């Protein structure tokens, strides 16, 4: 039995006969950005509503608390200047600042829990985009929130607890360095904390999309994401590096402010969208092709059997036919202002009929003509 059981198989009644659907997941990512940009912006802003407490802590509380905590201490050290009687207080000041930051990271645990249901709605909308399903932001967001909020809330809460523990280890290393009491245990804790944070990001690349793609218990998803992390390690490192670049860009003095604003408006959804298209590619390649045929290459263009057979037929010579001799029933129906993909498919079919009527295929073997 596969570890990827119980796929969410609420497939649409009719698969769309693709006219403009992309043929690869990479092409699909850019196609979604191009064709679904308004929906991406809407779902991004809707998700940000659930992330407001978290953003308030990160943007305002952590910087302000650090400033207030260290305002009564001298940061110049023992160089003969500063506040009388406080020339050796740099270590105490750093401890106060780090303690304030640790308290703010403790507050991030409930803030991340509040963000969980919003992320559940976001991932459901992104999944439907990747699967080629019709998307309604209000309906799909609420459906994802209703069905998946428990697992995503558990995930974000555990992330908050984990980050608080890792920040504590990193802060302990920093304080021990300032006090001149650094030991190998502090260094080991610091290194392991950095590695653990990187591994967390790697795992989230698979875990976040899989929760809404497959119906499994939470810790089964965790196990599966770890297995995929190891199996697809080179691509996982590349995806993690992209996340790192985005984070570094937001830390730049001037450009980082504008990048953060762009992420707030519509960019927050772009990384999860990349993860969703990538994970769907991995699943198609290793799981769906063998065990979930209905989900294989879902959302991508699929050539029909007739189209595949037609491509194998030898090309025959064609002769021009007077357009006046075309069948009267071969016409093109104009598109309405609110056309859909089905209308585009019908338009293409009518166009093909016109082409078939205008090209009379003559087998040279029947006419006795020699092309040589």
Select from 116, 107, 184, 209 the least CA-distant residue to 156. 116
Select from 350, 341, 354 the least CA-distant residue to 301. 341
- At residue 149 the predicted structure's pLDDT band, cuts being 50, 70 and 90, is very high
- In this structure, how many other beta carbons lie within 10 angstroms of the beta carbon of residue 161? 14
* Contact predicate 137/39, CB 8 Å: yes
| Residue 335: φ, ψ to 5° | -75, 140
- At residue 277 the predicted structure's pLDDT band, cuts being 50, 70 and 90, is very high
* Contact predicate 93/74, CB 8 Å: yes
Select from 4, 29, 101 the least CA-distant residue to 270. 29
CA–CA gap between residue 258 and residue 262 (Å, rounded): 6
Helix/strand/coil (H, E, C) string of 148-167? HHHHHHHHHHHHHHHHHHHH
Tokens of 357: 């009527």
- At residue 179 the predicted structure's pLDDT band, cuts being 50, 70 and 90, is confident
CA–CA gap between residue 52 and residue 188 (Å, rounded): 35
Token pair 């991406």 is found at 40
pLDDT at residue 316, as a whole number: 46
Q: What is the DSSP string of 286-340?
A: IIIHHH-GGGTTTTS----HHHHHHHHSPP--EEE--GGGS-TT---PPPPTT--
**What average pLDDT does range 117-124 have in this prediction?**
95
Reported as a single tens digit per residue, the pLDDT across 92-102 is: 777 777 777 78
CA–CA gap between residue 242 and residue 343 (Å, rounded): 38
CA–CA gap between residue 243 and residue 134 (Å, rounded): 29
Token pair 């965790």 is found at 222
Among 52-66, 93-107, 309-323, which stretch is predicted with the lowest mean pLDDT?
Answer: 309-323
Q: What is the largest CA-CA distance in the chain?
A: 112
Task: Please state, rounded to an integer, the average pLDDT across all residues of the chain.
Answer: 78
- At residue 251 the predicted structure's pLDDT band, cuts being 50, 70 and 90, is confident
* Contact predicate 75/97, CB 8 Å: no
* Contact predicate 279/237, CB 8 Å: no
Domain boundaries, the chain: 25-295, 315-367
CA–CA gap between residue 170 and residue 186 (Å, rounded): 8
Token pair 């021009």 is found at 320
Reported as a single tens digit per residue, the pLDDT across 315-369 is: 444 444 455 555 555 566 776 666 666 777 777 777 777 665 554 444 444 444 4
pLDDT at residue 331, as a whole number: 65
* Contact predicate 32/273, CB 8 Å: yes
pLDDT at residue 12, as a whole number: 46
> How far from chain centre, in Å, is Cα 197?
18
Tokens of 368: 């006795």
- In this structure, how many other beta carbons lie within 10 angstroms of the beta carbon of residue 14? 7
The DSSP bridge partners found for residue 7 are 214
Please report which helix (H) or strand (E) contains residue 282, including its range. helix 270-283
Q: Is 147 a residue whose pLDDT tops 50?
A: yes
pLDDT at residue 74, as a whole number: 53
Q: What is the DSSP string of 351-363?
A: HHHHHHHHEEE--
* Contact predicate 130/32, CB 8 Å: yes
Tokens of 218: 């939470």
Among 12-21, 37-46, 142-151, 250-259, which stretch is predicted with the lowest mean pLDDT?
Answer: 12-21
Residues across the chain: 372
**Can you give the pTM of this predicted structure?**
0.71
The rounded percent of the chain whose pLDDT value lies above 90 is 40
Q: Is 117 a residue whose pLDDT tops 90?
A: yes
Three-state DSSP class for 369?
coil
Token pair 């407001």 is found at 52
pLDDT at residue 303, as a whole number: 53
| Residue 214: φ, ψ to 5° | -125, 150
Q: Is 83 a residue whose pLDDT tops 60?
A: no
- At residue 194 the predicted structure's pLDDT band, cuts being 50, 70 and 90, is very high
What counts of helices (H) and strands (E) characterise the chain?
15, 2
């Amino acid at each position: 039995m596969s570890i990827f059981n119980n796929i969410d198989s609420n497939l649409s009644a009719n698969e769309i006969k693709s006219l403009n659907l992309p043929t690869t997941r990479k092409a699909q990512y850019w196609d979604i950005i191009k064709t679904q940009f308004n929906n991406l912006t809407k779902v991004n802003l809707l998700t940000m509503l659930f992330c407001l407490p978290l953003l308030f802590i990160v943007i305002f509380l952590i910087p302000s608390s650090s400033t207030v905590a260290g305002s009564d201490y001298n940061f110049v050290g023992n160089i003969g200047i500063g506040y009388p009687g406080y020339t050796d207080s740099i270590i105490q000041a750093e401890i106060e600042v780090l303690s304030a930051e640790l308290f703010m990271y403790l507050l991030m645990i409930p803030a991340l829990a509040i963000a969980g249901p919003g992320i559940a709605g976001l991932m459901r909308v992104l999944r439907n985009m990747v699967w080629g399903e019709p998307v309604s932001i209000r309906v799909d967001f609420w459906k994802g929130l209703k069905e998946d909020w428990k697992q995503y809330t558990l995930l974000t809460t555990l992330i908050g607890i984990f980050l608080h523990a890792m920040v504590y280890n990193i802060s302990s290393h920093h304080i021990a360095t300032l006090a001149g009491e650094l030991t190998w245990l502090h260094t080991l804790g610091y290194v392991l904390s950095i590695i653990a944070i990187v591994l967390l990001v790697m795992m989230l690349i698979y875990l976040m999309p899989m929760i809404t793609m497959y119906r499994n218990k939470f810790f089964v998803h965790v196990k599966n994401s770890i297995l995929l992390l190891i199996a697809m390690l080179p691509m996982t490192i590349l995806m993690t590096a992209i996340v790192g670049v985005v984070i570094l860009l937001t830390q730049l003095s001037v450009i980082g402010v504008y990048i953060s604003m762009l992420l707030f408006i519509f960019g927050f959804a772009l990384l999860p969208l990349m993860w969703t298209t990538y994970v769907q590619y991995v699943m198609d390649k290793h799981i769906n092709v063998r065990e979930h045929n209905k989900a294989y290459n879902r959302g991508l263009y699929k050539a029909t059997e007739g189209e595949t057979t037609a491509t194998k037929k030898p090309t025959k010579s064609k002769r021009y036919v007077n357009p006046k001799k075309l069948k009267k029933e071969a016409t093109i129906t104009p598109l309405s202002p609110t056309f859909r993909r089905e209308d585009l498919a019908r338009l293409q079919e009518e166009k093909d009929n016109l082409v078939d009527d205008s090209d009379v295929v003559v087998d040279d073997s029947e006419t006795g003509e020699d092309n040589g």
